[in-house]
Amino acid sequence: MRLDKPVAGGPCWAAVGTPDLEAGGRFYGELFGWRTETDAREGMDGYTIAYVGRLPVAGMVPLSAEGRPCSWFVTFAVTDLDAAAAN
């Protein structure tokens, strides 16, 4: 199922934090068929986008703390941030 716009209350983006972006890219590339591109712009600190075909499917971020395990982060869409934060 492919969505063309975020659904309020549903997940709209996912990213994985990993201590080794290249190894993570190889792992998820083999597992899911992802192709990765690292954003080379200043201040992006290695942020990497994973694609299936031409569609972006997830982000990859470098973990800076020594020994920290890989962690997934999920972002949810909301229509009203203040109302969502108040709940």
- Locate tokens 């395990």: which residue? 69
Q: What is the pLDDT of residues 44-80, one digit of tens each?
A: 888 999 999 999 999 999 987 788 888 999 999 999 9
* Other Cβ atoms closer than 10 A to 59: 18
Q: Is the pTM for the entire model greater than 0.85?
A: no
Whole-number Å distance between alpha carbons of 9 and 12: 9
**Number of domains comprising the chain:** 1
Pairwise CA distance, residues 80 & 52, whole Å: 30
DSSP 2: -
Q: What is the CATH number of the domain that holds 66?
A: 3.10.180.10
Per the structure, the complete domain to which residue 24 belongs is given by 18-86
What is the sign of the dihedral through the CA atoms of 54, 40, 50 and 31? Answer: positive
